[in-house]
Every structure is written in C-alpha cells, then in structure tokens.
Amino acid sequence: MEDIKWYTRSLEEVSKGTDIVNGLNDSEVSASRVKHGENKLDEQKGRSIWMQLADQFKDTTIIILMVAVVINIFFGDKFDSFVILAIILLNAVVGVVQEGKAEKSLKALQDMSTPFAKVIRGGKEVSISSKDIVVGDVLVLDAGDLVAADVRITDSKSLKIQEASLTGESVPVDKFADITCVEDAVLGDRKNMAYSSGMVSYGRGKGVVVAVGMSTEVGKIASMLNETVNDPTPLQRQLNDLGKILGVGAIAACALMFGVGWFNGVEPLEMFLTAISLAVAVVPESLPAVATIVLAMGVNRLVDRNAIVRNLPSVETLGSASVICSDKTGTLTQNIMTVQEYWSDNDVNDFARGMLLCNDSRKLDGVWVGDPTETALSAWAESLDMDAVGLLEKHTRLNEVPFDSGRKRMSTINDIDGKNVVFVKGGVDEVLSQVKYYEANGVVSEMTPEYLEKIQVENKRMGTKALRVLTLAYKYVDNTDLTESAIESDLIFVGLVGMIDPPRPEVREAIRVAKHAGIRVVMITGDHMTTAEAIGKDIGLLEEGQLVVSGKDVDAMSDDELFEKVEHIGVYARVSPEHKMRIISAWKKHGHIVAMTGDGVNDAPALKRADIGAAMGIVGTEVAKSAADMVLTDDNFATVVVAVEEGRRIKDNIMKAISYLLSCNVGELMALLVAILFAWDSPLLPIHLLWVNLVTDSLPALALGVDLAEDDIMDRHPDMSGSLINKSMIWRIAYQGIVVGGVTLVAYAYGRGWFGVHGNDSVEQGRTMAFIVLAFSQLIHSYSIHSSQKSVLTSFWKNKWLVAATIVNGIMILGVLFIPVLNNLFKLGTLDMDHWIVVGLLMFVPLIIVEIMKALKLNGKH
C-alpha cells in the first residue's frame, strides 16, 4: 500500500482496498511480498575485524610513532623500531579484543526466538512467522500478542495496546476501528492504528497490515539510525589533540636541535640520528597502550557493576557528561502500574477484594498477567496479605459485562458466601453516574450532594498527583441473568484507588548525586504532560523555575529558539524521535557532553545521536541496544550514575598517567637539549630512552590507571574544558620535568667527573649514572602523582599495583645493569659505591621537591 496516512481514512475507505473478512489468498500474498518486501528490519552490517583493527591506527600519537618506526628502520637502530612496533600492535590488539568481548556480551542478551503472528488468509485463521506477514494481511490481535506490523484497526473489542516502547506512554491505549484521526495526530493519539512492537494488553481485534519491515514506524526509526553520524568521543578528540601538540613539539625540538647542531658544526647524519632520539623523548610511546588498557580495565569493572560498554572511549565520555537526557517509562520508572493510595470509608480488605474479583488478570508462574491496571489491583490485594488466587477460585464469577471504552467500566457478578454480588469498576464519573448509595463504616446511606462533593475532592487530590483513579461500587442481586443496564444501576459506592507507574526506588538518590556532581538530568518522554511533570517533581528532577513543554511546543520552536530555551526546560512530554534528536543537538551546541538513556524503539536515534547512549538490557528493545554505546544489564538508572563515577575515575587516572609520562618526557627532552646546546655527548642513547619510556614508565603509568577514585570525585562539576591537560597540569609537567631532567644532568656530569671528585672523564660512566638516576627517579616520582594535593605519606600504600610495578621495574633496571648481555646491548658501564650513593640521593630529589611544592600549595589544583 502506498504511503498513505491510514489513520485519517474511514473504515469504509480501508475496506475498499482489501478483503477485511477473508484476507489475502496465496497469489496475493506473493505479489504483496514482491512489491513491499519482507517484514523484517535491515540488519546493520557489522564491522569486519580488519576495519576494527584499522580504527586502532587513526590516533595521532600512533601515527607519529609509526613515522618514527619507518625512520628508525632506514637510518637508526632496527631493534628500537621493532620495540615501538610491538607496542603499537599491542595497543591495537587490546582495542579489538575488548570491542569483540562487548559485542559477544550483547549478543548473549538478545532474544533469539522469532515471534509468530495470527492472520486471516483465504478465510481461515493461520499462525505464521512474523517475518512472513505482508501488506494487506488481516492480522488477528488477542491479549498478550505482540503487534508484528503496522495495522489499521478494522475490528476492536475492548482492545488496548501497550505502546511504551514506541511512544513512551506507560498506560495501554484504547483502540477503535470506527474512528478517524486528524492529519497531524502524533503516534500516541492515533487510536485506530496499531504499530509494530506494541503489545496487546486487553481485549481483542483485527486490522489490515498497511506497512511491513523498514516501512513501519519502527523501520523509519531504524533508518534514522543509519543516517545518524557517530561523532568522535571527547577522549578520542582529546588524545588526538594531545598527539598533534606532541607532534608539533617533536618537530620544534628537532628544528631547534638542527639549528644548534648546524651552528656547532655537527655532521648532518649525526644530527638526524639525534633528532630521532629527541622524537623518542618527546612522544610518550606507551601512552596509547596505557590509555587503551586503562579503559579496558574500566570496562571490565563496569561489567561487574551491571554495565556493558561497546567501545572503550565511551567509558571516559560518561565521566565527562554534563547532561543526562532520560526516557521516563522503564528508565526512571518501573514500567509497572502500582497502586499508590486509596480512599474509602470502609474496610480496605473488602474494597481490595472487590477490585480483585472485578478483574480479568490471572497469576501465571508467580506473576500477575493481563492489563497493567488490573495486574496492579491484583498485586495490591495480594500485598494486603490476601490469598488472591484462593479468593478468585472461591468466589465464582456468575456473569459479567466486559469493559469497553464507551462505558469505561466493567462489571461482574460473583458468589460471595451464597449471595450474588455485583462489582462495578471503572472511571470515577462513569461509575458515579450509576451510583445511588454509599457505604461508610458498614452503613449504607443514600448518596447526598455533600458526600458526592467529598468523593470529587479526593478524586481531584489524586489527580493532581497524576494518579490514574478508579472507583468501585457494588450491590446485591437475586437473579444473575440480568441485562447490562439492570446490572449497572442503583449501585453502592465503596471507594477510590489511585495508581501510577512509580519511580524506581533508587532514582531519587541517583538524581541527587548527579545534581551534586553538576550534571543536569532532563526527562524526555512520550507520556502525557501531567504524568511526566508529577514524576519529575516526585523524583527531584524538576526544579523551581524549570519548564515542562510538549512535543507540539517543540515543533513550534525553531532550532535557534530551542537553543535559547533548552537550558530552562526540565521535562519534555509527548515527544517524537525527531524531537529527541533536536533536543540533544541543542544541548550539544551549548558545549555540553550529553548522555541519553532509554529502552524503547523510539529512543534509538537519540541514543545514537548523544555523546553516549545507554540502553536498558532487560526491557530494552534490540533496536535500542544496537544503537547504544552502553547497555545496562540491570535496567537501573542509578547504574548510569555509577558509570559516570567510573568514567570520572578513568579520566582522572588517564590524566595522572599523562602527567606522569609527560613530566618524565620533559625531563628526558631537557637533558638532551641542554647537552646539544653545550655540545656535550648525548647523556642518553635512543635505546635508553625507549627502555625508560616503554618499560620503566609504562608499568607505573598502568598502575596509576587503576588508582581508586578520589574522595571528592562526585563533588566536582563536569570538566567542560575539552582537554586532557589543564593549566595546573602544564605547570606540574613543566617544573617536575625540569627537576627530573636536572637530576639526570647532574648524574651525567658527576659520572663524567666534571665536579672534580673523580678525575676520569668517562662518557660511558656518565651515561650509566644518567640512565639509572632517570629510571629510578621516574619510578619514585610516580608516587607523587597519586594526588596533586595530598602528601605521598598519606597515599603510599593506596595502590598495591604501583608498589608491585615499582618492585618489578626496579629488578628490571638492575637486570640491565648487572646482566652482561643486556649491559653490553645498552652500552652501559659499572659503578663503584661512591657513585651508587650519589645515585641513591639524586633519585629521591624529584619526590622531595614535589612534596615541598604540595606543602606550599604550589603544586596546582586538580
């Protein structure tokens, strides 16, 4: 069928296009399938392992290192080249393996079963696989069925469909065959349509299939996902920016060295090889691997805390999030209608028993199934320590008048201890119109205007809380074989009950923590404004002065107007997927890093558009999970806040690793530049620098990557700078690097006998002392990095992995010195006791200097 707005067409117009009684025959089915295709969504083509591997080499720092590898192969030491290449490949393998593990975890979450559907074909009802449904089929809908395609309802008997996954509305929607809708009706208001992914919660009906596969509303959302471009994560951008800065720094250092070398008359080839040493000194070779492994460890920690992250940088992105846009139904709320309060002048058990008996829900495998409103009433009765199942069996139903959307009430006649009792449940006004009496404390009286006013006051009170209010009335009858009007007349009012899809119990605290951490939480839902506003206030999300707007309000705004107002809006109601995309884009234009949580099909495009999308793993649709960067396996909004804390810890630790690595590299760079400026022999060879950068520095940097979170980590506001290096870090890197470089040069000068203590001028001995002091001082310096404020005395044992890394690296450094093969490879000498004492003193100087700076409050802020 063409792209027609079927909800605007009358039942008569729909009937002209297809046989709504007998359905399609075999030839019509084949023709329709050829014309409109199969009823399945296009599968996104997965990335091959080669594409995943190629992505690992796009980082600027990696590119710089690859250039260094090529230069070294042709002009330098081939051993150095292979060491750098091994580190690059390790980084790539870790990234690919972790991404593969995340994808496997997600596949384990997917439901592999193919749903079936009932259709009328050739005048007979048949059950077929949902993917075999074609446009023009007559779909049969019964309670519990999943709507397998988009249909125009042609027959409805008290039909209600739960459309939360598509519209976000928590209450099932009444569906009618004999109405038409206005052209601009939003999905949730199209009462004559049923859409793919909906669930029939009550009644039964039929409908003509008008769209299948990618042409359905769900398919259109899936198409939007393909059109949504994934932006680089903040961490990817920041590491790339850092790589570019380091690249410029390497080029500048090499240019300076060439200029000085030229002035001093050094041979061009020798200058070129020295330039390679400088490039090695400037670029922290282990940084990409350290960042990747730290992120991978964070991902594994999050798995234990109920979150599966699909790609590594997304973990850190959450730590930078300044806005969380959350769906309501199933994310902030439980997606389970629950009785919140009741009002009655009678015994609550009698009231609840009446609601239980006038009810079509049933208990299967320990769970109440049926219409969400009715399951809520049954669960309420059971919560009062009533034997709900036993009462249903004991008090036999003798007659009933089913619920329909015209009367908006339901009636049953039950056997209560040998008496025939009528129970009527429904909307307040609809039941009160048939009430003649009321019961209070066991006494039945004729309804008065005063008591009626009392009922309406309570009804309005509950309504202001966005509760769905139902009424119960009853009466005794002698005969059970009565007409509808005879059953539903002269009733006795019992009470009111109010219910709602309640917030998750942990949500209030999670939002409080998020706000304290400077993160704005915004609700975006397809539900009604009144309900959304009530929930928003209840959970502490909506604050004084913040606005509540509808999808129509968003439609009326231009992108510029939305940009101006977005920071003042706390709740969006009755919104479409397109609205969610615009809202997220408006926040991002303000420079915010936006996280989006959701579970429904309607959330998927926004999950992909956001800087990080988090889908629910249990109730979340497969479309939502495939679009998300992270899947919450416990469907718990609070897990998002846990992930934010973990993300902040990871970013802090990556910044610690960067601060450590760059301060060490600045020290190496300073030692080489000073030597070049004064025309000294190089105090360090390229192999020394590679060993220190890739071995000595790497293990402590990795250990810093698993540092525990700072105590105040969720007291800070999000880092909006968009940089991994702030002014305080630059100051620390600079002065600490100068100290490390300074002690290295002092060691070199002492080893060469320039202080007059030892007469022999030995380059080998100078390099040996410089190498040992550089390596050990950097190891010890790593303990200063735990905290920019607290003394090392308070945090020395904070990280057992750093202690282990120090011991392992210390043994390796000594191995290079005392194992003859390695000693020769590194072109090192031996030291006497006097030189070892000087080495022992110099290696602690950087730690002592940093401790003094911390005590004087000169070490910079966080």
Which residues carry out catalysis?
A: 327
Distance (Å, rounded) from C-alpha 176 to C-alpha 193?
8
Q: Which residues pair with 174 in a beta bridge?
A: 160
Q: Residue 435: which H helix or E strand, with range?
A: strand 435-440
> Quick one: which of 782, 711, 653 has its CA closest to 297?
653
Contact 318, 644 (CB under 8 A): yes
**Cα dist from 831 to 325, 762, 811, 843, 845, whole Å:** 63, 11, 17, 15, 20
Distance (Å, rounded) from C-alpha 371 to C-alpha 9?
29
What's the length of the chain?
862
- Work out whether the CA dihedral 708, 710, 715, 719 comes out positive or negative: negative
For 15, phi and psi rounded to 5 degrees? -65, -25
Distance (Å, rounded) from C-alpha 168 to C-alpha 188?
9
**Cα dist from 587 to 230, 484, 542, 562, 581, whole Å:** 16, 55, 17, 9, 10
The residues, ordered by sequence, that sit 6+ positions from 361 with a Cβ below 8 Å of its Cβ are 368, 369, 370, 371, 374, 375, 377, 378
Distance (Å, rounded) from C-alpha 145 to C-alpha 647?
41
Q: Which residues pair with 142 in a beta bridge?
A: 204
Residue 738 structure tokens: 């100068």
**Cα dist from 413 to 213, 376, 423, 480, 665, whole Å:** 45, 21, 6, 7, 85
Residue 690 structure tokens: 């590679």
The residues, ordered by sequence, that sit 6+ positions from 559 with a Cβ below 8 Å of its Cβ are 582, 585, 586
Distance (Å, rounded) from C-alpha 610 to C-alpha 488?
53
The owner of tokens 């249909």 is 151
For 44, phi and psi rounded to 5 degrees? -70, 130
Distance (Å, rounded) from C-alpha 854 to C-alpha 96?
40
**Cα dist from 814 to 332, 375, 769, whole Å:** 57, 72, 12
Q: Residue 635: which H helix or E strand, with range?
A: none
The owner of tokens 């010890």 is 780
Distance (Å, rounded) from C-alpha 760 to C-alpha 740?
25
**Cα dist from 730 to 60, 662, 724, whole Å:** 20, 9, 10
3-state helix, strand, coil in the chain (%, to 5): 50, 20, 30
**Cα dist from 634 to 619, 630, 631, whole Å:** 9, 12, 9
For 136, phi and psi rounded to 5 degrees? 100, -15
> Quick one: which of 201, 501, 141 has its CA closest to 369?
201
Alpha helix ranges (H) inside 264-334: 268-282, 287-304, 313-320
Residue 535 structure tokens: 């929930």
Looking only at the bridges linking them, the beta strands covering 116-121 and 124-129 are antiparallel
Other C-beta atoms closer than 10 Å to the C-beta of 347 total: 12
